[in-house]
A = this chain, B = another copy of it.
Amino acid sequence: MKESIAEYGILGVVSKEPMSGYDINKRVRTRMGAFWGISYGQIYPTLRMLEKDGYITKKVVINENRPNRKVYSITDKGIEKLQEWLLKPAEPESVRIEALLKVAFGEHVPKNAIIKHIEEFKIRNVSKLEKAILLEKELKTQLKKNEKYFYSLLTVLLGKNMHKASIEWADNAMKLISEQI
């Protein structure tokens, strides 16, 4: 592990508020799922490494009957590292939509099989859109007290746009397939 996106993603999340590995996982899933993902298999080793290198510090919060929480906070050195990365150009985006790959080869199976993939794709996007709308409200409330979530709000807006675009496409695509003779 040297320069993975995971490192900076974790650093950025911790820069907003001190958090445990468990919290980071949840935060990424609920707030950043539209453009990034991560798993425990990366979180815990990366936190250890970031701490070892002085980018974050650990504070143990004692828990009874369950593992102690290890709450990490970003250091000045960590902020600097994050800033350096933030100023570099971003890598190109990478998208993988298996459902679309199946649609692309749809001529080999009955129409209804492809419609089902599209319907399921739509359902996933409807659910993500609903979550994004709730999150938008939540962040707008938080924004009144603290400006720090302004940029998080912006990213939620992209999620909303993308999910809406996907849903509209799905409706249109299903219509086109059923009209096809």
Residues of A within 8 A of B (CB): 5, 8-9, 12, 15-16, 32, 34-37, 79, 82-83, 85-87, 89-109, 113-114, 117, 120-121, 124, 147-148, 150-152, 154-155, 157-158, 161-162, 164-166, 168-169, 172-173, 176-177, 180
Q: Which of A109, A113, A158, A169 has the most CB of B within 10 A?
A: A158
Query: A8 to B113, alpha carbons, bound, how many Å?
Result: 17
Which residues of B are found within 8 Å of A89, using beta-carbon distances?
Answer: 117, 120
Which residues of B are found within 8 Å of A104, using beta-carbon distances?
Answer: 12, 32, 151-152, 154-155
- Whether A105 pairs with B93 at a CB distance below 8 angstroms is no
Specify the chain B residue showing the minimal Cβ separation from A32: B104
If A37-B96, A109-B87, A151-B103 touch, whether A157 touches B172 (CB-CB below 8 Å) is yes
Cβ contact of A36, chosen from B100, B157, B180, cutoff 8 A: B100
If A91-B98, A93-B99, A117-B90 touch, whether A150 touches B108 (CB-CB below 8 Å) is no
Q: Which 3 residue pairs are nearest across A and B when measured between Cβ atoms?
A: A165-B165, A90-B99, A106-B151
- Whether B99 pairs with A86 at a CB distance below 8 angstroms is no
- Whether A34 pairs with B101 at a CB distance below 8 angstroms is no
14 new A-B pairs (CB below 8 Å) besides A15-B108, A90-B101, A157-B169? Answer: A82-B108, A83-B108, A85-B102, A89-B120, A90-B97, A90-B98, A90-B117, A93-B99, A100-B158, A105-B151, A150-B180, A154-B173, A161-B165, A162-B162
Main secondary structure of the interface of A (DSSP, over half): helix
Query: A176 to B147, alpha carbons, bound, how many Å?
Result: 13
Specify the chain B residue showing the minimal Cβ separation from A164: B165
Cβ contact of A113, chosen from B86, B158, B164, cutoff 8 A: B86
If A94-B37, A150-B180 touch, whether A12 touches B86 (CB-CB below 8 Å) is no
